[in-house]
Amino acid sequence: MARINLDVNGKVQTIDADPDMPLLYALRNDLGLNNPHFGCGLAQCGACTVHVDGQAVRSCVTPVSAVGNGKVVTLAGLGTPEKPHPIQKAYVEEQVPQCGYCINGWIMTAAALLESNPRATDEDIRKGLSGLKCRCGTHMSILRAVKLAAGRMAAERKA
Which residues would be at the binding site for ligand FES (CB under 6 A)? Answer: 38-41, 43-48, 58, 60, 97-102, 134-136, 138
In the complex, minimum distance from the CB of residue 5 to ligand FES, in angstroms, rounded to a whole number: 23
Sign of the torsion formed by the C-alpha atoms of 138, 131, 114 and 108: positive
Q: Which is nearer to ligand FES, 31 or 40 (CB)?
A: 40
Smallest gap from residue 158 Cβ to ligand FES (A): 32
Q: What is the nearest approach in angstroms of ligand FES to the Cβ of residue 103?
A: 6
Question: What is the widest separation between alpha-carbon atoms in the chain?
Answer: 50
d(Cα 117, Cα 104) in Å, to the nearest integer? 20
Cβ proximity to ligand FES, 15 vs 96, nearer residue: 96
The Cα–Cα gap between 50 and 9 comes to: 10
